[in-house]
Structures are given as structure tokens and as C-alpha cells.
Structure 1
Amino acid sequence: MRVLVTGAGGTLGRAVLPRLRTDGFTVRAMSRRPRHDPAADWVVADLDTGAGLVEAVAGMDAVLHLASRPGGGTRTHRVDVLGTRRLALAAGYAGVAHLLYVSIVGVDRVPIPYYRHKEAAEQVVAAGPVPWTVLRATQFPVFLDRLLRAAGRIGPVPGDPAVLAQPVDQHEVAARLADRLATGPLTGVEEYGGPQVLRFDEAVRAWRAARRSRGPLLPVRLPGRLGRELRAGGLTTTAVPTGRRTWTDYLVDTYGGPGRR
């Protein structure tokens, strides 16, 4: 099967490319800027303008759509919503048999501007001319790690202790996507999360121990509907199967395991 992967240079894309090749797919990787990688067939295309999309989808059996522009502003709308429509139309004209779009668990529940655009992109895919699947994944551990490092630069880590998260390893999501491509279009939405739901304070304690950090958690209760949804598990899923690698597994691999204060 010949598969075009958009957003192939991102966190998930870097996990997806080797997985697809290992599973026997013929992979074409897409990015906005030229890349030189002898292990992959890279093409240049831009969802924002549509430049190069026709050439990128030509001859493909499936499109795995990972590309996104986080933020939630006008640029996100142009890339995630209008760009996804351009991609879907180009794929339809090219006779692509499956458009697999990667979204985020909670886009239909958590009132974050970026999530509204992701949900709109899901609707574009579902209404488009290509048989489709949407896979919503929970947050990657590396993203949670970056969030905590950024939040803790001045010492204490601010956050709502009761917010729930369900980190899922990006390599396990890549494996799930490969299985989805092999199975074919679902014509529906599938959710995929990590093996463990954690409170924010639990995640922070484990992170601090692994990094041998003394910076405490600074409790800040998120207000309004956003806080209610996050505390109620808006970023988590009860779907099965789940990944196997836990937040602790990530911390051990990244920092060498919990330290002693």
C-alpha cells in the first residue's frame, strides 16, 4: 500500500515513518520545506496555500493526515480546516481509497480554541469525497513533559491538581495507525489512549521525582467550563484497546527513573 504522510516531520510523524516502512507500506512523506532523508521519499506541499498537494497525493492508496497548526487562530483555521479540505479534495480527485485523520481526545468536549478547529477538520474529513477514519489520541508524554518544564522554569509548577490526563506513547499510536491503514476505512471515529489515567498532581510528583526536582506544585483551580471538563476527564477515554507504556515508563527512559530528595 502506498501512503502519503502529512506532517511527517512532527513528533508523531517521526514515529510513524519507520513503523509504516517496517510494516511493508510504501511511504511518501510530506512537509512544507524540503528535507533530505535517504530513508524516505519526501515531497514539499503546503496545506495553507494548496501548493504541491495535487502532486503529493498522486498515485497514493491512502493518506495519513498528521499535519496541524496548533494555536487556534486564523492560521490554524487556514491550515487545519481549509487545508484539510484542500487535501481531501485533492485526494478524491486522485482516487485515494482512505483518508486517515489524527485528532485529539476531547475535541468535542474541552472548550479550547485549537480543539474547535480540530473538530471542524474532523467534520471536513467526514463530509469529504474519500472513505475516511478519524483516530483521536490522548496527549503524548513528551508534550506533558514540555508543559511541565515550561511551567516550572521559575520553580513551583502551577496547575489544577484534579485535572485528569491519560498519556499515550506516540510509538504506540503509530502502531495503531498502521493497523488502521491495513484494516481500511472505519467511516467513524476511534479513540486511543494510554493505559493509565492520572491526576495532574500525581503526574507532577512522579515528574519531580524523576528529575530530582524540589519545585513544588502550586495549586491553581481552573475556572469555568474548561476547568470542569478537564477535571471530569475531558482529555481521557474509556476506549479499548489502549497503549501499554505508562507515564512512569516515559520518565524512566527520559530521566533514568525516580530520584531521592
Structure 2
Amino acid sequence: MTTILVTGGTGTLGSLVTARLRAAGHEVRVLSRHAQPYAVDLRQGTGLDAALAGADAVVHCATTPRGGDDTAAGHLIEAAKRAGVPHLVYISIVGVDRLPLGYYKVKRKVEGMIEDSGLGWTVLRTTQFHDLVLTILQTSAKLPVMLLPAGVRVQPIDTAEVADRLAELVAGPPAGRVPDMGGPEVRTLPELAGAFLHATGRRRPVVPVRLAGMAYAGFRRGLHLTPDRAVGKGAFEDFLVTRAGRPGR
């Protein structure tokens, strides 16, 4: 039986990866700050040596846009090297090497740290999850008018499909940078807002707003998209149905 660690294993993606690995018969250790018996603070590096002892692989899903992912990854990599872990799988984002966004720059830095670690590694980049798009739309819909970035398209993918792919990758040998995963369609934000409003029974005017900055310009150019790798199956409307048809009313 293979022992696999999942960092961020209680999160949106990590919990799905954990469920799939356990269903496949693997022993899974869920790492988060509050999960027992492996309560690990990645930013401080506490608890890692015990959690990694005897592990065959790690799926690194833990992340935060508030910063510190590189520090956390550094602690994880060093502990994995001490434990002799042969395979580290990392989930990243399409466009981290092209978009001048702080969070993306850190994600790309972590990719480089893993590539240079001396560990066996696999990196998968995906487009934005349906969950993220839903959160953006729910936040915008709290106002009488939905204000959305003008000219921005997205290619959202089902988190469950990403979890399937990560579970497959970690069960295999280190594969380096594997092909990207993109959602099935490139859609405009107003299109997705229309689907959201219909599913939730709301009415809101949708107003595109032009923003400033190089990151916004990159999103307008579609640097976060991978239309040639539109391998996802579940459309955003399908995802809304799974959320009882009326998410976040």
C-alpha cells in the first residue's frame, strides 16, 4: 500500500484528491494546520518530519493568495529530501510564467524550487476552477449592478476533474511538467454571469469595467488560457446544477 501525503487536504481540491486516493486503496495523510494526527504548519515547517516519515509521495495542494507559498514550499521540499520522498506532485496555474501578477509569480517560483530540488517531481498547470468563477460572480452579485472586468475571458474547469488527474499522476512515476488542463470552453465573464443569474433566479445588469495595470492587460490578452488543451468535460452550467441550481442566494 502506498502512503501519500496531501497538503491542504481539507480544502476544495485537496479533499477531493484525498477521497480519490483513499478509494484507490492508498494510505493518505492529510496535512493542514488543524488536521490530526498530522497538524502541520507549512509556513513554520513544524510537524513535517513526522508527517513525511515513510511517505512514498506528496501532493502539494496547499496555497494562499495572501503570500508565503514559497516559504511553505521550501519547508516542504527540505523535509521531503530529509525523508527521502521519491515523488512530489504540485498543482499550478496556466499562465504563471506569463502574467505579472504577484500570486502567479510566487506560484512560478515554487515550480522552479521543485524543479531544482533534486526530488522526483510532477507539475500540473490548470485553468481557473469553476469554484473560483462562482465566488467572483457571487461577490459581484451582492451589488445591484454586476461589475466585471471588461474584455476578460476565462476557461473554467471542474475541480473534480483536476482531482482525478492529480490522483492519477501521484500514483505514477515522476513525469516533470505534464500537459496543461483547461476547461472545455473559453467563455466571456458576461456569458458566465448570465448563466449564474439564470441558475440563481436573480436579475442584475452586467456592466463591463476597464481596469488598469499590466496584469489586467495580460488577462485581456488571454495569457491565462489554454484553448489547445481544452480537455475538461464539465461546463460551468453543469457545475451550477451540482450546486443545487441556486448557489449563494
TM-score of the pair, normalised by structure 2: 0.93
- Aligned residue pairs total 245
1:102 deviation in Å?
Answer: 0.9
1:70 deviation in Å?
Answer: 1.5
User: Helix, strand or coil for the counterpart of 1:229?
Assistant: helix
1:241 deviation in Å?
Answer: 6.5
1:112 aligns with 2:101: yes
Question: Would you say the 8 A contact 2:186–2:227 is kept in 1?
Answer: no
Partner of 1:98: 87
Question: Would you say the 8 A contact 2:147–2:206 is kept in 1?
Answer: yes
- The change in CA–CA distance for 1:241 and 1:183 in structure 2 (over 3 A counts) is farther
Partner of 1:156: 145
Amino acid of the structure 2 residue aligned with 1:51: T
User: Helix, strand or coil for the counterpart of 2:175?
Assistant: coil
Partner of 1:51: 46
Segments of 4+ in structure 1 off by > 4 A?
Answer: none
Q: Could you report, residue by residue, the CA deviation over 1:11-67 in whole angstroms, capped at 9, with x for unpaired residues?
A: 1012111111112222111111145xxxxxx41111111110111111001000011
- What root-mean-square deviation, in Å, do the aligned CA atoms of Structure 1 and Structure 2 show? 1.6
- The change in CA–CA distance for 1:23 and 1:240 in structure 2 (over 3 A counts) is farther
Partner of 2:57: 62
Moved more, 99-108 or 58-67: 99-108
Partner of 1:146: 135
1:85 aligns with 2:74: yes
For residues 58 and 21 of structure 2, what CA distance do their matches in structure 1 show? Answer: 12
- The change in CA–CA distance for 1:22 and 1:146 in structure 2 (over 3 A counts) is same
Question: Would you say the 8 A contact 2:183–2:230 is kept in 1?
Answer: no
1:234 deviation in Å?
Answer: 1.9
1:120 deviation in Å?
Answer: 0.8
For residues 230 and 136 of structure 2, what CA distance do their matches in structure 1 show? Answer: 27
Partner of 1:39: none
For residues 172 and 120 of structure 2, what CA distance do their matches in structure 1 show? Answer: 12
Q: Could you report, residue by residue, the CA deviation over 1:71-127 in whole angstroms, capped at 9, with x for unpaired residues?
A: 2xxxx13xx112201111111121111000111112112222111111111111111
For residues 126 and 197 of structure 1, what CA distance do their matches in structure 2 show? Answer: 30
Partner of 1:24: 25
Q: 1:174 aligns with which of 163, 188, 204?
A: 163
1:222 deviation in Å?
Answer: 2.5
Amino acid of the structure 2 residue aligned with 1:136: R
For residues 207 and 233 of structure 2, what CA distance do their matches in structure 1 show? Answer: 30
Q: Equivalent residues in 2 for 1:156-235 (5 A)?
A: 156-235=145-224
Tell me the percent identity.
Answer: 40
Amino acid of the structure 1 residue aligned with 2:63: S
1:235 deviation in Å?
Answer: 2.1
Q: Could you report, residue by residue, the CA deviation over 1:134-155 in whole angstroms, capped at 9, with x for unpaired residues?
A: 1112111111111111122111
- The change in CA–CA distance for 1:239 and 1:132 in structure 2 (over 3 A counts) is farther
User: Helix, strand or coil for the counterpart of 1:171?
Assistant: helix
Amino acid of the structure 2 residue aligned with 1:87: L
Partner of 1:14: 15
Question: Would you say the 8 A contact 2:180–2:226 is kept in 1?
Answer: yes
